[in-house]
Amino acid sequence: MTTDITMPALSPTMEEGNLSKWHVKAGDRIEPGQVIAEIETDKATMEVEAVDEGVIEELLVEEGAQGVKVNTPIARLKGEGEAAKPKQEVKAPPSEAKPKAAEHTSKRAPATQTVQSSPGERILASPLARRLADQGGIDLSGLKGTGPNGRIVKADVESAAQTPSTPQQQQTPQQSREVAKPAPTQAPATLESYGIRSGSYDLVPLDLMRKTIAKRMTASFRDVPHFPLTIDLEIDALLKARGEINKRFADNGVKISVNDMCIKAAALALKLVPEANASYTPDGIALHHHADVAVAVAIPHGLITPIIWAAETKGLAQISAEMSDLALRARERKLKPEEFQGGTFSISNMGMLGIKSFASIINEPHGMIMSIGAGEKRPIVKNDALAIATMMTVTVTCDHRVVDGALGAAFLKAFKSFLEDPMAMLL
């Protein structure tokens, strides 16, 4: 039997990828678990493993092809016992751009997913379909696949999740986001239509990361009813505590940053005001058990948000060590998907760039995102007298479907109490 190997969905939001490198050629015999290709997503480059054994009959997509849609056949496999056709020239689709070299490899993923349901019977499912089924407690053996060769794809799992036949087939927040996709927007006009002369600018093609950022931020700003709340904090006590900690534990390699202390304070505030640690879903408000704090890290051509999981349970030294490691590997594009996908709350800190205050766009499905500005000496009124203090402006952008004004204010009040009295974070 001939089977198509398709472009896998390596994350719930992936719609296309670049085929960076082939590790096989037509006529090669492959075994399950063997690395056959490298796929570049918007966040990382991942190795793809074979699931079935057989002989590569034909490579359908050229090495270096960009913008290959998920579930597009990329190779054809002859099953065990069948002869392979003579080697054929690999032809890229006309729309493919010039080859792009693979950057780094962070994780392996199967090109297709095979699930064993009973002896002698195999169920083919895409990686994304398998992941969604696992999250929703859906038995793939009871589904009929609509993909190539009867493979179960995302749409099949989503359809099963919406069928109220069993208690296990309830939609998870992740599935809800996949189903409720925003309608496509009209393509922007060309610069020439605005009067900008042709040839007066250089056009840098969009890579997958920039395309994804543009799509997600546009959808979030358009579809999420959001509003900002801003507060000024006095951080002299925090800076003093930070200095004492770093001095006392310098021999142990501890170096705490203001950002590390903000992560800890935000996590504790979310636990103190648990209603703010929430996400909107069409089925209800999801109240999260832990404060999983995603922190924006600038990398070439965009940004990524690695996550400090259960940050409320971790000390400052552990948060600092994890954040340093995550930021380093983020810039090298070596993060694993589970290290940047998910989270319950976001932090973006531009204080080190001298930005005094700003408001960020919500990182769905988080209910809030915090924007941290630079600490600076400012004149303030204290005890009815003019004084000088180090002040920092913080803004939270709230999803009004989840966090209303009073709830957002309660969160900021708790955050301020921890940051202005850092000893309270030790309780």
Cα 247 from Cα 241, distance rounded (Å): 10
Q: Residue 157 has what pLDDT?
A: 80
- Distance set, CA 388 to CA 236, 353, 383, 422 (Å): 10, 22, 12, 20
β-strand pairing of 113-118 with 121-125: antiparallel
Q: Residue 367 has what pLDDT?
A: 98
Q: Would residue 189 count as lying in a domain?
A: no
Number of domains present in the structure of the chain: 2
Q: Would residue 305 count as lying in a domain?
A: yes
The verdict on 357 and 406 lying in the same domain is yes
DSSP-derived letter for residue 64 is: T
Q: Would residue 190 count as lying in a domain?
A: no
The verdict on 164 and 214 lying in the same domain is no
Q: Would residue 277 count as lying in a domain?
A: yes
Q: Would residue 239 count as lying in a domain?
A: yes
* The pair of three-digit structure tokens given for residue 223, joined into one six-digit string: 């579809």
pLDDT by position in tens, the chain (length 427): 788 899 988 877 788 889 989 999 999 999 888 999 989 887 777 888 888 889 999 999 999 898 899 999 999 998 655 444 444 444 444 444 444 333 444 455 555 444 444 444 567 777 677 767 776 778 887 788 877 667 787 778 877 876 654 444 444 444 444 444 444 555 556 898 889 999 999 998 888 888 888 999 999 999 999 999 999 999 999 999 999 999 999 999 999 999 999 999 999 999 999 999 999 999 999 999 999 999 999 998 889 999 999 999 999 999 999 999 999 999 988 888 899 999 999 999 999 999 999 999 999 999 999 999 999 999 999 999 999 999 999 999 999 999 999 999 999 999 999 999 999 998 7
Q: Residue 97 has what pLDDT?
A: 41
Q: Residue 172 has what pLDDT?
A: 46
The verdict on 249 and 379 lying in the same domain is yes
- Select which of 23, 104, 290, 400 is catalytic: 400
Q: Residue 108 has what pLDDT?
A: 57
For residue 182, is the peptide bond before it cis, meaning its omega torsion is within 30 degrees of 0?
A: no
Does 400 participate in catalysis according to the annotation? yes
CATH of the domain at 69: 2.40.50.100
Q: Residue 122 has what pLDDT?
A: 61
Q: Residue 149 has what pLDDT?
A: 64
What is the DSSP track for 287-300?
EPSS--EEE-EEET
The verdict on 129 and 239 lying in the same domain is no
Q: Would residue 194 count as lying in a domain?
A: no
Q: Residue 104 has what pLDDT?
A: 42
pTM across the whole model: 0.66
Pick from 92, 112, 103, 90: nearest CA to 36: 112
The verdict on 165 and 245 lying in the same domain is no
Query: Could you tell me how far CA 154 lies from the centroid of its own chain?
Result: 18
The verdict on 174 and 244 lying in the same domain is no
Cα 109 from Cα 5, distance rounded (Å): 13
Q: Would residue 60 count as lying in a domain?
A: yes
CATH of the domain at 407: 3.30.559.10
The verdict on 7 and 102 lying in the same domain is yes
| Whole-angstrom Cα Rg for the chain | 25
Instruction: Check: CB of residue 333 under 8 Å from CB of residue 45.
Output: yes
**Structural domain for 269, as ranges:** 210-426
Residues 6+ apart with CB under 8 A from 210: 301, 302
The verdict on 146 and 272 lying in the same domain is no
* Domain end call among 160, 179, 198: 179
The verdict on 234 and 142 lying in the same domain is no
Residues 6+ apart with CB under 8 A from 199: none
CB neighbour class for 155 (10 Å; exposed up to 12, middle 13-18, buried from 19):
middle
Residues 6+ apart with CB under 8 A from 87: 25, 26, 27
* The pair of three-digit structure tokens given for residue 122, joined into one six-digit string: 């195999």
The verdict on 220 and 347 lying in the same domain is yes
Q: What is the largest CA-CA distance in the chain?
A: 89
Q: Residue 168 has what pLDDT?
A: 40
Residues 6+ apart with CB under 8 A from 374: 350, 351, 352, 353, 354, 355, 356, 392
How many other β-carbons are positioned within 10 Å of the β-carbon of residue 10? 24
Q: Residue 121 has what pLDDT?
A: 54
The verdict on 165 and 252 lying in the same domain is no
The verdict on 142 and 267 lying in the same domain is no
Give helix 258-272 / helix 236-248 axis angle, nearest 10°: 120
Q: Would residue 204 count as lying in a domain?
A: no
Cα 355 from Cα 372, distance rounded (Å): 9
* Domain end call among 156, 179, 202: 179
